[in-house]
Structure 1
């Protein structure tokens, strides 16, 4: 990508409530959150709560839609349950919804089921809400201000595409591919891994400043079960389909080859070991749980054509803004039509890759300073 193209200025899920919006095309995330809910509730149940006037929660990479509000309710109910069980005075609950500036915060706040009585006392599962725009690779909150952080389906996004994969003179140049491929150069996967390591270190440094001692982070993001970084699971399979769709458009003269060759997807699926090593190297957090969690979700489809259309809609909701910002809005409809066709043609392989996919569940506690 060109040097003046900054991902944090354009990256967001499709806003609004249209047929291609993220709010209407995040069923996989919804199913995954049902699987994650017991882990989320258990982690809060294990926290050491202390009396405080305000208990602060942050959802990093919150996006917008029903899943965002459902997670906030789960967390707030679990916190209230814990305080009630301990017999400690119930603090006010403050939830910070944080994402990049392009996120549809308007939709998010219009959807809040929040009503505070005239006396100012919050009822069950009510919380004070605020939005925080910015990159979680940097500081977002004051020092020692957060008690619990949640982030799902976000930390695999990189702050930038590794520069070397776009440098034709580099052994890591990705050529006509748009993502890591199991048939591609190992140097490409290694470059992506280095960028992920750099970004996660920045994330941990920032959160170490913001989370109180004894505070917890519940993180879930795209990951892989195996050790080889070229085996990117569902992300790799989607990248392969998108690559085929782009090739079709280049062959048809809709997109210039050089423009396609300069585009690469800015995310990476790490292994649990890679994440654990970075957390332990940083030393600011203690690992409570670190594992690859298989989603193994069943998808109800009528035909390969229906499957291709469904997957195209889901990933259009995730990638449209990024792709439109780089190639222009005029390519979006045609690109995802071809994506649907290619997904239909490769339905069996793609279906198995997505169904057997999963992510890294990292539950970590802010260590006490000496």
Structure 2
């Protein structure tokens, strides 16, 4: 895997394995964690920039499930609430929905009419326009200083490409048997992933600074880690290390060549706040208004008094379905579709066993940035 533009996307459609049906974890984060920061940011923006005729919003990495219009609805509702309190006329709202070209935009656009009807029921004065913008958010997407508010949830931890090893571009040097950072990964792998994140995030900030209006806002929510150096032991990595174990089981039984696993590495990185803040300061175009860490459970099956999942088998299957909706297109392109059912059946069992061991959580970073005004 090199650049992810042609390989990375969520599973489309509305079937049992689709992202639309397996994104409850992300939906809860939008409702409970991201929403307060988003509402505060949009109201601050509306009060300071005071858009009279048009408010332009961009949702980066929108995917194609119901979460897309949940995020948009919350933004629009926040604007409407503030507008009514301030007794101002309603501006026209332009919403730009962005994802990679392989995203299922057809399913997404079939939800537009339902969204418009709901929005009109809330406030008949609202006027909305929705556009799809296919492309990588590591490239320019919009005209200069055209966007008031940028939102991105559960997308910014994806990298522009798999970090390059010294020996080839298809995988990371000596990261054998792994598909991401693991306890057995050498320091060169850790450094390669961190280096790629630093390059990508700095580039992302520079590009958005050109597109965001002075005084504009940006809210980003993405899977991360705390400041502990033992990042590979954390849940942000464990969920994919278990997937590597499932692949290794197929190798052991002769169902898959070990070279295929060695050549596959996920293009993602889960940063800590200590890795984020220096990059924001270095680029210099944005100020950090807020940066929060939230612990999240892998999924919401009932837990016992000790915090262990009480129905581990069902939980394992739920987590496996969530990861399948996110990772299957890339896995299928590399390994083929013949092993997918067996792979995720084994993966669900490994996750179930993992969940019975102790309380399992991961970290979600949520940050609010403000574009600096021209001097």
TM-score between the two structures when normalised by the length of structure 2: 0.90
Between 314-323 and 73-82, the greater mean CA deviation after superposition:
73-82
Whether the 8 Å contact between 1:172 and 1:191 is mirrored in structure 2 is no
Q: Who is 1:27 aligned against?
A: 24
In structure 2, the CA distance between the partners of 1:124 and 1:225, relative to structure 1 (3 Å rule), is farther
Q: Who is 1:304 aligned against?
A: 312
> Alignment partner for residue 324 of structure 2, among 304, 316, 323?
316
Q: Who is 1:197 aligned against?
A: 198
Which structure 2 residues correspond to residues 228-247 of structure 1 after superposition, within 5 A? 228=229, 230-231=231-232, 233-247=234-248
Q: Who is 2:42 aligned against?
A: 44
Measure, in 2, the Cα distance between the counterparts of 1:232 and 1:212.
40
Provide Cα deviations, 1:298-351, integer angstroms capped at 9, x if missing partner.
Answer: 6215532222211111111111111011111112112111111222232234x7
1:89 to 2:89 alignment: yes
Q: Secondary structure at the match of 1:231?
A: helix
Measure, in 2, the Cα distance between the counterparts of 1:129 and 1:272.
33
1:229 offset after TM fit, Å? 6.5
1:367 to 2:368 alignment: no
Measure, in 2, the Cα distance between the counterparts of 1:324 and 1:283.
40
1:38 offset after TM fit, Å? 1.7
1:96 offset after TM fit, Å? 0.5
Measure, in 1, the Cα distance between the counterparts of 2:237 and 2:363.
13
In structure 2, the CA distance between the partners of 1:254 and 1:39, relative to structure 1 (3 Å rule), is same
Which structure 2 residues correspond to residues 80-159 of structure 1 after superposition, within 5 A? 80-112=80-112, 113-115=114-116, 123=124, 127-159=128-160
Measure, in 1, the Cα distance between the counterparts of 2:312 and 2:159.
32
> Alignment partner for residue 352 of structure 1, among 352, 356, 359?
359
1:35 offset after TM fit, Å? 1.4
Residues matched between the structures, number: 358
Unaligned segments of structure 1, at least 5 residues? 117-121
Between 274-283 and 177-186, the greater mean CA deviation after superposition:
177-186
Q: Who is 1:119 aligned against?
A: none
Q: Indicate the RMSD between aligned Cα atoms, in angstroms.
A: 2.2
Whether the 8 Å contact between 1:35 and 1:295 is mirrored in structure 2 is no
TM-score between the two structures when normalised by the length of structure 1: 0.91
Measure, in 2, the Cα distance between the counterparts of 1:296 and 1:306.
15
Q: Who is 1:291 aligned against?
A: 292
Unaligned segments of structure 2, at least 5 residues? 118-122, 303-309
Q: Who is 1:186 aligned against?
A: 187
Provide Cα deviations, 1:83-137, integer angstroms capped at 9, x if missing partner.
Answer: 3333333210010010000111111110122448xxxxx8255521000000001
Provide Cα deviations, 1:247-304, integer angstroms capped at 9, x if missing partner.
Answer: 0111122211111100011111000121111111100111101122223576215532
1:166 offset after TM fit, Å? 6.7
Q: Who is 1:257 aligned against?
A: 258
Q: Who is 1:220 aligned against?
A: 221
Q: Who is 2:306 aligned against?
A: none
Measure, in 2, the Cα distance between the counterparts of 1:216 and 1:329.
41
1:367 offset after TM fit, Å? 0.4
Q: Who is 2:79 aligned against?
A: 79
Measure, in 2, the Cα distance between the counterparts of 1:56 and 1:200.
23
Whether the 8 Å contact between 1:137 and 1:206 is mirrored in structure 2 is yes
